[in-house]
Amino acid sequence: MWGSARDQRLIDYLEKQYDSLSDVEKVRGLHVHPGIELRDKDSAEPVEHVAELEGKKVLVVERLRGRGRLFAFPAEAFDLIDKNQSYVRRSRAEVPLKVCRPPHIVLDAARRYAVFSDEFIAVPPRQIGIAGEKSQAPFLKALSLFLSSKLVTYHQFLHSPQWGVQGGRATLQTLKQLPIPLDGLVERELSRWLELYDALVGAWPTDRKKRFDPTLSLFDDGNQDLSKESEVGDTEADALYVRLNELVYECVGIDKNDRYLIDDLVDVKMQLIDGKVSKDALRGPTKSEIEAYAAVLQRELDDFLGEDNGLRHLCTVVHDQVSGMVQIELVEATSTKLKPTVFPANAPTAQEFAKAREELRREYGQWLYFDRNLRVYKGNRTFVLKPFQRLHWLCSQALIDADEIIAETIAATGD
């Protein structure tokens, strides 16, 4: 549903190139485990008292709902454990306690946050703690940043059997598969991560929220009110988070196309999981976004064609408020780089778009719909009709469209 062959190649590369968290756990002597299940003294099941827990902080996950990504916990996210609550199921304290002791990372089951702490925090059940000796504190800070990156969200989402289903989350097994590129960092490189960690903790607002209007539809008729969604942002924090992701991409050594796959999945496509949709996925693409899509499509087709045959592809996009038509034409190469062009459709063209759209849309059952792209091949021209929603005009979608056009061309010609 969510990945492509390109995603599979990227994940295979990362997992072959770097040790998994499970390997790093063994080498560095870390503890990676779900949190501790607290019980009352009068619990019906056999329990034992853990004096170490008395008076310590326990994270209350429910108080973090709607806050999105975090790099530090707000004070109101904690309760103190009283004596009556400092019990656990008999013989179930030893390993969970290790991930509650500092230095450690508290990792959300849904991977919304990975917060480093140098104080004792009782990690709740189903959340995951990553702890080590005091000497591991610098590495754990850098690891908390890496775990907060788009790359990790991307990897965990595509590996998790439940994520994307309502109420789904990533698992401990999925986390331990995660490739970790940090273990070979020299001191100078690690210092860049630690400086960025300090900056992000200082600048990131702990009350940042994002809301979605649940009434929106993937099949927009152009009349939906998209004004109800809002996001509380912060320019400095956003810039630092961009730096974090650039640092991660640089660290793992992936190219621009792979970054498109990650950024588009995390920033746009994942807004459609669990029945949620947002104006950022459903709004009409801007002219610059269409041009970016067309430029990537054109470049990928040109790269496949090669430079020695004197031919290039030229993309032209014509659109109304509901559909867009991409014309891909094979032309003679020129000394100047060919740039895609974008035009709004006149009334007759818009009417033809509407007819084609009705023919393409298919309904299967009460709840499942497909709104597909139409591709037509005529001589040295290819036409692609697609819905005029940003989701269909992402740079990652341009890569997929190029792959499909190339595959269908090869199949048709036998070359």
In angstroms, the CA 375 to CA 386 distance is 9
Bridge partners, 336 (sequence order): none
Nearest one of 372, 366, 369, 380 to 413, comparing CA atoms: 380
Percent of the chain past pLDDT 70, that is, above it, reads 87
Cβ atoms of 44 and 50 within 8 Å: the answer is no
Phi, psi of 6 (to 5 degrees): -65, -40
Q: Over the stretch 92-143, which tens digit does the pLDDT of each residue have?
A: 889 999 999 999 999 998 888 999 999 999 999 989 999 999 999 999 999 9
- Nearest Cα to 261, choosing from 277, 250, 249, 244? 249
| pLDDT value of residue 361 | 55
pTM over 0.75: yes
Question: Which domains are assigned to the chain?
Answer: 5-203 (3.90.220), 284-413 (no CATH)
What confidence tens digit (pLDDT) does each residue in 244-301 have?
A: 999 999 999 999 999 999 999 999 998 888 777 778 888 999 999 999 999 999 999 9
DSSP state of 83: G
Q: What is the pLDDT of residue 239?
A: 93
pLDDT class of 231 with cuts at 50, 70, 90: very low
pLDDT at 122: 97
Distance linking the first and last C-alpha atoms of the chain: 30
Spatial distance between the Cα atoms of 312 and 334, rounded to a whole number of angstroms: 8
